[in-house]
Amino acid sequence: QQQVKQSPQSLIVQKGGISIINCAYENTAFDYFPWYQQFPGKGPALLIAIRPDVSEKKEGRFTISFNKSAKQFSLHIMDSQPGDSATYFCAAATYGGSQGNLIFGKGTKLSVKP
């Protein structure tokens, strides 16, 4: 049973455009929602994360929007740049619980065309 569903699988955006990646989760006990960015040949690295007590978090061009009632969260990349081309993974965890292991979505490959 996949607990975190991510879409789309791939995304092509023109330079300067907005990239939007969506995730949906099933477990209402999740209380930590990070996004990881992975460049080819590298390990994933934390990009931005949100807790369910806020509906939005912004860091530079990257924004997480969180909808607790719909059990959905999304990553928005404003003014997308070719350097943003990477694979993005959403994840969820129960940090208030006893385990806390991250459950990852299947990833979105973003290509930003110049």
Partner 1 sequence: NAGVTQTPKFQVLKTGQSMTLQCAQDMNHEYMSWYRQDPGMGLRLIHYSVGAGITDQGEVPNGYNVSRSTTEDFPLRLLSAAPSQTSVYFCASSYSTQSGPPLGEQYFGPGTRLTVT
Rule CB under 8 A: which residues touch partner 1? 6, 9, 34, 36, 41-46, 49, 89, 93-95, 97-102, 104-107
For residue 82, cis peptide bond before it (omega within 30 degrees of 0): no
Nearer to partner 1, 17 or 104 (CB): 104
Give the 3-state secondary structure of residue 98.
Answer: coil
Nearer to partner 1, 41 or 60 (CB): 41
Structure tokens at 64: 């997480």
Nearer to partner 1, 43 or 114 (CB): 43
Nearer to partner 1, 82 or 97 (CB): 97
Q: How far is the CB of 73 from partner 1 (least distance, A)?
A: 16
Structure tokens at 63: 């924004």
Q: How far is the CB of 74 from partner 1 (least distance, A)?
A: 17
> Do 90 and 6 meet the contact criterion of CB atoms below 8 Å apart?
yes
> Do 111 and 85 meet the contact criterion of CB atoms below 8 Å apart?
yes
Q: Are strands 108-113 and 10-14 parallel, antiparallel or unpaired?
A: parallel
The CA distance from 73 to 56, in Å, is 9
Q: How far is the CB of 16 from partner 1 (least distance, A)?
A: 29
Q: How far is the CB of 112 from partner 1 (least distance, A)?
A: 21
